[in-house]
Amino acid sequence: MSVRRGQTKSYFASADDTKICVVMVGLPARGKSLIAGKAMRYLAWVGIPARVFNVGTYRRSNTPQPSATFFDPHNSEGEKMRKAAAEAAMSDMLQWFSSGKGVVAILDATNSTKSRRSWIYESCHAANVETLFVESICDEEDLIMNNILEVKTTSPDYKGQDPEAAALDFRNRIRNYEKVYETIDDNEKHYTYVKLINVGSTVIINQIKDYLSSRLVYYIQNLHIKPRSIWLSRHGESEYNLTGKIGGDSNISPRGEAYARALPGLLKKSGVPPNTKIVIWTSTLRRTIQTARHLAAETGYEKLEWKALDELDSGVCDGLTYEQIAEKYPEDFAARDEDKYNYRYRGGESYRDVVIRLEPIIMELERSENVIIVTHQAVLRCIYAYFLNTPQEQSPWMEVPLHTLIKLTPRAYGTDEQRFKADIPAVSTWRAKGTSAKHQDYPTEIKA
């Protein structure tokens, strides 16, 4: 029997060679860089070559830490340098497209005037690149303050500076932009655009023409910029883990039960802000439901079961050990080592298949605030890869140990990660690429 490999790089159906420049629009502290970073990660996760071109990064090569006066519209020298940075970003972006490397570029800047947007539109149009303007509008003071706090603590513009002085300077920078800011209006109706007003509470969409743009808009309209964290955990050690079997629907082991009891304390230890509402997500398989039950009982958090969070389907290999698979299906075992992301088990799934079925989960996760997900090794790898922008060829080989809680906190310039390990032993289910399939036997007693 032949081994199924060589699947296509993308599951976006596209009848043409559409190239899109996503143009961020909005005042500072409106979540533009956060949205840009998320969109790029999402596209890479589903196999679309994407890249962010941040105009601020180009500007920093000459003015690494400018004061607010640099952004004053009456500062002709500052205006000249800012325009040069935008032109350099645009030039690199168009070169990236023409080299055949890219499908979606994200131009991350304020792009806050009609003249700037017209220049971007005309430049892209001349290069046969579609434009999609994404304007983030926010007048909720709490959200703006949160974003100011985020920028002054994570932006390279304020690295090493006094936080209070940084916040004051950044507010002055915003005031300078407010002097010239022009929202997208009826005079720009020929543009394809989406407006997100107050974190997506209102969304205005105009002139969406192609499939890829519609997928991007659907993703973007699910985003919010409120501060939150996502916690990820595998189920507690299972009976199948102890014997090296994959798949199945086994119960958790005594040590897995100990982890289930320890999970509420581990979550508390990870740092949960007061009055934070967290929703618990599990798969429909027993080992995740059993692992989450004490957490739900002790906290009173809502708990949801998702079929899409079930473990990767190992088809005819379900219930076998890796050693048995290597003996029974040697070609399959070797093929999976060669291209683990695309290899599909006979009658089962590949990692690429799991990503496709997880897309609605990611959409719901982006709409949600604080969530703890108790799931399985392959599924957790795929979700983790989305947040940390892990390359597809690396994600199936990541080590994700049992009895460990991972806390992810999305930021404007990346995702913070913390790991909290419970003091409860468990088998290791990780196997490095090209290593032996032999399973090691482990004692099942709980160490004192």
Task: Mark whether 311 is an active-site residue.
Answer: yes
Residue 239 and residue 366 in one domain = yes
- Which of 130, 150, 235, 257 is labelled catalytic? 235
Structure tokens at 431: 């196997």
Q: Domain residues for 265?
A: 230-421
Q: How many residues does the chain have?
A: 448
Which CATH number covers residue 157?
Answer: 3.40.50.300
* CB neighbour list of residue 378: distance below 8 Å, 6 or more residues apart: 311, 312, 351, 354, 396
Which CATH number covers residue 366?
Answer: 3.40.50.1240
Task: Mark whether 190 is an active-site residue.
Answer: no
Annotation-wise, does 238 bind a ligand?
Answer: yes
> Cα(229)–Cα(200) distance, rounded to whole angstroms?
19
Within-domain flag for 7 = no
Q: What is the DSSP letter of 195?
A: E
Annotation-wise, does 411 bind a ligand?
Answer: no
- Which of 130, 311, 349, 366 is labelled catalytic? 311
> Cα(319)–Cα(183) distance, rounded to whole angstroms?
58
> Cα(292)–Cα(281) distance, rounded to whole angstroms?
9
Residue 193 and residue 71 in one domain = yes
Residue 308 and residue 338 in one domain = yes
Of the candidates 129, 107, 110, 89, the one whose C-alpha atom is nearest the C-alpha of residue 183 is: 110
Residue 115 and residue 215 in one domain = yes
Annotation-wise, does 125 bind a ligand?
Answer: no
Residue 312 and residue 164 in one domain = no
Of the candidates 40, 42, 212, 28, the one whose C-alpha atom is nearest the C-alpha of residue 132 is: 212
Residue 273 and residue 164 in one domain = no
* CB neighbour list of residue 281: distance below 8 Å, 6 or more residues apart: 303, 304, 305, 306, 309, 371, 372, 373, 374, 375
Annotation-wise, does 239 bind a ligand?
Answer: yes
Within-domain flag for 123 = yes
pLDDT at residue 164, as a whole number: 87
Cβ neighbours around 158 below 10 Å, total: 18
Per-position pLDDT tens, the chain of length 448: 334 444 444 444 443 578 999 999 999 999 898 899 999 999 999 999 999 999 999 999 989 999 999 999 999 999 999 999 999 999 999 999 999 989 999 999 999 999 999 999 999 999 999 999 999 999 888 888 888 887 767 788 998 988 889 989 999 999 999 999 999 999 999 999 999 998 778 999 999 988 999 999 999 989 887 889 999 999 999 999 999 999 999 999 999 999 999 999 999 999 999 999 999 999 999 999 999 999 999 999 999 999 999 999 999 999 999 999 999 999 999 999 999 999 999 999 999 999 999 999 999 999 999 999 999 999 999 999 999 999 999 999 999 999 999 999 988 778 999 999 999 999 999 887 877 666 555 444 443 3
Within-domain flag for 340 = yes
Residue 237 and residue 323 in one domain = yes
* CB neighbour list of residue 248: distance below 8 Å, 6 or more residues apart: 240, 318, 319
Burial environment of residue 209 by CB neighbours within 10 A (0 to 12, 13 to 18, 19 or more):
exposed
Last residue within a domain, chosen from 192, 222, 252: 222
CB 282 within 8 A of CB 353: no
Annotation-wise, does 176 bind a ligand?
Answer: no
Within-domain flag for 383 = yes
Residue 145 and residue 260 in one domain = no
Residue 215 and residue 317 in one domain = no
Residue 137 and residue 96 in one domain = yes
Annotation-wise, does 117 bind a ligand?
Answer: no
Within-domain flag for 437 = no
The DSSP line for 161-175 is: S-HHHHHHHHHHHHH
Residue 156 and residue 249 in one domain = no
Annotation-wise, does 241 bind a ligand?
Answer: yes
Q: Which residue has tokens 């955990």? A: 233
Residue 63 and residue 37 in one domain = yes
> Cα(78)–Cα(220) distance, rounded to whole angstroms?
32
Overall domain count for the chain: 2
